[in-house]
Amino acid sequence: MSQPMADAPVTESERLSFSVFAPDDAALLAGLHSDPEGERYLFRDGMVWSEAYATSEIAKWRQTFADKGYSKFKLTRNSDGAFLGRAGFGFEETHGVAELGYTIIRAEWGKGYATEAAARLARWFFEEDLDDRFIAFAVPENTASVAVLRKIGMREIAPLTIKGIVCTSFEMVAAR
C-alpha cells in the first residue's frame, strides 16, 4: 500500500481527520507523550518521549500502514486543523491481532473526541476489510477509556495481561 500524501486524510468523521504521521510530526507526538497525566495509563513507566523516540515510532507506524493498511494516525480537528492526538491501530504481536488505541491531548479531554475517533475507526476498519476482528484494552483504573470502548459497542472479553498489568479487554468482530 502506498503512503498517502502528507496530511491527506485516510478517513474523517464529523469533527476529526485521521492521517498518517509524517516524519516532521515528531515534535507534536513527543509533546503529546510528555504529559505525565496523559501518560499514566500507557505502560511507559513515566517515560517522556523525546523527538528521536517519536521519530522512531512514526517510522514504525508508517511501515505498519504500508504492510497492513492501518496505523496509529495523527488526529486533527476538521474545523481548524488543530492537533488533538493520535488514534488508530497497532499490531498486538502477543495475540496476533490489530489493537485499537487513542491518546488525546489533555486540553481536549471531555469533548467526546476519543469516542468519536474510536467509533469512526471501528467502522473504517471493517469498511476497508482490514481483518475480521480487532481488540482494545485499558487498565481498569482508566474508567474513561473503558467507557469509550463500551460506548462504541465493543464486547468485553477475558482480561489480558500487558506488561505485567491485568487489563480490561474488549473485541469487535465484523458483522458478516
The Cα–Cα gap between 176 and 163 comes to 33
The Cα–Cα gap between 24 and 37 comes to 25
Give the per-residue pLDDT at 1. Answer: 46
Where does the pLDDT of residue 99 fall: very low under 50, low under 70, confident under 90, or very high at 90 and above?
very high
φ, ψ of residue 39 to 5 degrees: the values are: -90, -10
Domain ranges, ordered by start, for the chain:
9-130
Q: What is the pTM of this model?
A: 0.90
Residue 44 has pLDDT above 50, yes or no: no
Cell numbers describing residue 39: 501518560
For CA atoms 31, 46, 37, 57, the dihedral sign is positive
CATH superfamily of 9-130: Gcn5-related N-acetyltransferase (GNAT) (3.40.630.30)
For the ranges 39-53, 74-88, 144-158, which has the lowest average pLDDT? 39-53
What DSSP element (H or E) covers 56? Answer: helix 51-68
